[in-house]
Chain A
Amino acid sequence: MDWHTLTAALFPHGCDVREEHQVLTGEGRAGAGMVAVVGTTGHVPIGVETALAQARFILQTVREHPGRPILILVDTQGQRLRHRDEMLGINSYMAHLGKCVELARRSSHRIVALVYDQALSGGFITSGLMADACYALPDATIRVMGLPAMARITKVPEERLAELALDNPVFAPGPENYLRMGGIEAIWRGDLAAALETALQLDSESDTRSALGLARGGRGLAQRVIAAIVAGDDVLAP
């Protein structure tokens, strides 16, 4: 979905969002007040500049608008795959962005994310997956890596991976799989403004994704492993 259409649907009472070098920043009017909006568009790869621009906006929001909710709009093909970004330490830039989101959460900003087109790997870990709750549109795609590179690293033939990506929950890119594994809180259909209002009311500062993944049947072991270790047990609960 085009971001102009998206933000108009999310904020029927008005919004002022600008695009610069495929980075979105601005604000929208929700029922309870203003919401800060930050994200990316055009499937832009997240390079050092893209990460830094989003981090700058989040820090500015924490400083100038204490407690204002933050909506992260996710559309990225992943981290930028360039030698130059690696040389500059892109992992530090991405970690910085993630830490800025964490600081906002700790400073009483509600953080909601929406995958409205593509989400992939490193570009997603430090944005949508850092939110209190991450949502997705029904036709969003979420994946870890392009299949050719994945085939090279895993030594699993690309044809086999393509086959798995059709319907295997661990490999298929649809948001339903992430929903079942707890990575996505809910899929938004219909009235997006109403869905956003509801999300802004929820209060879930702690990370409950592994518990969600167990309850929804998408990740059977993560929560049981965590619970066993926290309880000091050497046997998993059934």
Chain B
Amino acid sequence: MNSYLEATARERLARVFDPGSFQEFLPPSARVVSPHLGQLNAPVAFDDGVAVGRARLDGRPVFVAAQEGGFMGGAVGEVHGAKLVGMLRRAIADAPDAVVLLLESGGVRLHEANAGLIAVSEVMRAVLDVRAAGIPVIALIGGANGCFGGMGIVARCTNAIVISEEGRLAMSGPEVIETASGVEEFDARDRALVWRTTGGKHRYLLGDCQVLVADSVAAFRAAALAQVAGATAVALTLSALEREQAQLTARLERFGHVREPMELWRALGVAAPEALPLLEADAFVAQVDALRLGGH
């Protein structure tokens, strides 16, 4: 089995990185569980839904984290967030070649509401601290739960995102929008629309991610390796953020009136946008690479 989507967080760690190289910080045997889930009679996990540690990627030392979508959708609670922050701060001290985040998360764990919100904020600041220390941060997104909410923001604070066709990256989940704004605003059961709006191919066309890969652990490994080896201009700079400001402004001016992702693809110059969802990753990239927006 080579599917990244179907693998668990720990299977991904074992196979994206060099065999046997993952060493976990605060492993499940430490029995550190959420202090908040009990009052809602929700189950706890001995890793609180995330594994963090160090590993090697083609021999290079890296710090890593993998969120487990099977536990509360990978959502960030107090302990989960603190494990990410602890790993990120230790990375600054140890100076590995990169930090690689295997993200799969609905964002703030609503069962831990306020504590989860602060935790995601701390993760966001810690990611930017790692970049400021000159260590590149790479995000991989290809799990069934996508990368949403505060973690969708965290992902866009990294140096590069590798996403699969099946990966999804956004802010509010369709269910949240439907509940708040009505089914006519966003029908959460329209899977094709959800995919067109949040899926890896759409994000790649907008330039919100750097690499689009097929749903395979080997493809994610190869892409992560290339991003780690090729990372430049790691820290934030005024000129880079002014460039991003110009790109996001242009995106809004050009597509702010568009109602449907397929219209946006057509406006980008895609001749047959209705055919894009059916293309394999390689064929898709070959067809749209010259048309897609610039990335960051």
- Residues of A that sit less than 8 Å from B by CB: 48-49, 52, 55-56, 59, 62-63, 79, 81-96, 98-100, 102-103, 106-107, 121-122, 124-126, 129-130, 142-146, 148-150, 152-154, 156, 160, 164, 168-172, 177-178, 181-183, 207, 209-210, 213, 219-223, 225-230, 232, 234-236
* Residue of A with least CB distance to B173: A153
Say if the beta carbon of B32 comes within 8 Å of chain A: yes
**Other contacts beyond A63-B242, A170-B112: 12, CB < 8 A:** A52-B245, A52-B248, A81-B185, A84-B256, A88-B206, A89-B208, A102-B236, A121-B150, A125-B117, A130-B125, A153-B173, A183-B118
Q: Are B252 and A52 in contact (CB under 8 A)?
A: yes
Say if the beta carbon of B114 comes within 8 Å of chain A: yes
Q: Are A181 and B114 in contact (CB under 8 A)?
A: yes
* Residue of A with least CB distance to B108: A144
Indicate which residue in B32, B111, B121 contacts A225 across the interface (CB closer than 8 Å).
Answer: B32
**Count: A-B pairs, CB below 8 Å:** 259
Residue interface bits B164-183, CB-to-A below 8 A is 1, else 0: 00000111110111011100
* Residue of B with least CB distance to A178: B114
CA distance A92 to B154 in the complex (A): 9
Q: Are A86 and B83 in contact (CB under 8 A)?
A: no
Q: Are B118 and A86 in contact (CB under 8 A)?
A: no
- Residues of B that sit less than 8 Å from A by CB: 25-27, 29-30, 32, 35-36, 39-40, 52, 78-79, 81-83, 85-87, 89-90, 93, 106, 108, 110-122, 124-126, 128-129, 132, 149-150, 152-157, 169-173, 175-177, 179-181, 185-186, 197-198, 202-203, 206, 208, 235-238, 241-242, 244-245, 248-249, 251-252, 255-256, 258-261, 264
CA distance A98 to B126 in the complex (A): 12
Q: Are B78 and A152 in contact (CB under 8 A)?
A: no
CA distance A232 to B132 in the complex (A): 23
Given A86-B172, A152-B175, A178-B118: A98 and B157 within 8 A (CB)?
yes
CA distance A229 to B51 in the complex (A): 12
Given A94-B153, A229-B83, A230-B90: A82 and B181 within 8 A (CB)?
yes
Indicate which residue in A62, A83, A143, A225 contacts B79 across the interface (CB closer than 8 Å).
Answer: A225
29 A-B contacts (beta carbon < 8 Å): A52-B252, A55-B241, A59-B242, A79-B172, A81-B181, A83-B186, A84-B256, A88-B206, A89-B206, A95-B156, A96-B241, A96-B248, A99-B236, A103-B237, A106-B132, A122-B153, A144-B116, A148-B180, A152-B179, A168-B39, A170-B113, A183-B117, A183-B121, A207-B125, A209-B121, A221-B32, A221-B78, A229-B90, A234-B25
